[in-house]
Structure 1
Amino acid sequence: MTVLGADMLDVDPETMSLADRAYLTIQDKLIMLDIRPNEAVVESELASQLGVGRTPVREALKRLEADRLVVSFPRRGTFATGVDVADLRHISQIRMSLEPVAARTAAESASSAMRQQLIELADRTEALDLENIERHELMRWDLRVHRAIYRATGNPHLEDVLVRYDNLASRIFCLFLDRLPTVAQHVAEHTELLRTIAAGDADAAAQIALDHVTGFEESVRAIV
């Protein structure tokens, strides 16, 4: 895990609880399909990989079940949830409604400090050598940008909902990363979105966010 995790949240890993660190690391494995859909999730193996006890892993898996990334069955164990492309329409319906709301709200309500963070993230995005970055890393950067926008809304309830559905959408996208021709372009679009939010142009930010979400879904639908 290189971009997602604590770095994505701008949190020092050393200040995080073991359960939080386990949660972010396992979440990354699930979203990026290092743990494949419907694959068994073995607590003891994860604890060994992460260098922690089973309790933090168990706590992390409970949170991931609430996120619909894993599912537990009595006497059978815990498994990564399946990925059904048919779900993309339902997930996108929610995101097309709420991503523009988040962009508009962030443009209207973000603090001066948060606007500066968005500008800095835009600068970093613009400086990326997108055509030569591994595609899973591009998806991690995509997640990072969206998390920053959600956080900038100042609405924790909206943030929670959008994080959940962005995670689920990203799992579907990861199924087709090798066949998607527009991943770098999709990530590059974040630069304009971030700058527009930071500038406080709510109408434009909402439209860019809608076009951004719609465009990537259409690119996935074109190949499935």
Structure 2
Amino acid sequence: MQQMATEPSNEELSLAERAYRVIRDRLVLLEIRPGAPINEEQLGQSLGVGRTPVREALKRLQYERLITTYPRRGTFATDVHITDLAHISEVRQELEPLAAAQAARRATATDRATLTALRQELESGDTRRQDATELLHLDLQVHRAVYAATHNPYLEDTLVRYDNLATRIWCLFIDRLSDMAGHVAEHGPLIDAIVAGDPERAARLARSHVEGFERAVRDAM
């Protein structure tokens, strides 16, 4: 699992935080399949950490609805239900435009540099030739960079959580999506609006992006 470009290096993170981020992204990208059992010892060995950091990570992931624990049965990756799409989209259609607008207003020089680097990555790499995993990583990086640029930790945490759930649905239908690369490329104008400090345009593009995501998944169904 490659490290997200907008996140701190491993040296800057606690063991529990490192475990959380890696396990989270394995669950989000369905590398750990929905319904699969979660084995603490195996996860600890794969991450090179003990059981305590893994357990702390799993507590957070349960709160974020990425795993679930059943008495006397164990812990499992949560199932992905397409019926959740409307509920997730309802939240994101309100909060994604807010985040984009606030990012345009509040982004620091460092935030703008991070977003500009992602914009260049969108331009330099032909998104239509990248494989699905690379596109998903790039999509997550852009969303998380925008959320971080809001400088509102409550908004950021909420949107990361809902974007993770939306990405799991996306992964479920990835083989049927007709223009995944085009969806990811839509981030270019959004980044431009944020870097330019244009909150109205950023909000409009963010809402359109979320609405397009829901349409694409429903068409794939």
Q: Tell me the TM-score range normalised by the shorter chain.
A: over 0.9
Q: Are 2:81 and 1:84 aligned?
A: yes
Q: Is 1:200 the counterpart of 2:197 in the alignment? A: yes
Offset of 1:115 from its aligned partner?
A: 2.1
Q: Distance in 2 between matches of 1:112 and 1:36?
A: 39
1:10 aligns with 2:4: no
Structure 1 letter corresponding to 2:28: I
1:188 aligns with 2:147: no
The match for 2:39 is 42
Q: Give the secondary structure class of the aligned counterpart of 2:128.
A: helix
Deviation of the 1:53 alpha carbon:
1.1
- The answer to whether the Cα contact below 8 Å between 2:6 and 2:114 also exists between their aligned partners in 1 is no
Structure 2 CA distance for aligned equivalents of residues 63 and 8 of structure 1: 22
Contact 1:136–1:174 under 8 Å retained in 2: no
- Structure 2 unaligned blocks of 5 or more: none
What secondary structure, in the 3-state scheme, does the structure 2 residue paired with 1:72 have? strand
My pick for the range that moved more, 130-139 or 163-172, is 130-139
Match of 1:166 in 2: 163
CA contact 1:107–1:197 (8 Å) conserved in 2: yes
The match for 1:216 is: 213
Shift, 1:124, TM fit: 1.8
SS in 2 for 1:79: strand
1:141 aligns with 2:130: no
In the TM superposition, what is the alpha-carbon distance from 1:112 to its structure 2 partner? 2.9
| TM-score, length basis structure 1 | 0.95
Gapped regions of structure 1 (runs ≥ 5): none
Amino acid at match of 1:123: Q
Kindly report which structure 2 residues correspond to 1:22-37, keeping only aligned pairs within 5 A, or say none: 22-37=19-34
Report the CA distance between 1:9 and its aligned residue.
3.1
Q: Quote the Cα distance in structure 2 between the aligned partners of 1:12 and 1:74.
A: 36
What percent identity do the matched residue pairs reach?
A: 52
Offset at 1:110? 1.6
Q: Distance in 1 between matches of 2:122 and 2:29?
A: 20
Aligned residue pair count: 221
Q: Map of 1:47-126 to 2, 5 A cutoff? A: 47-126=44-123
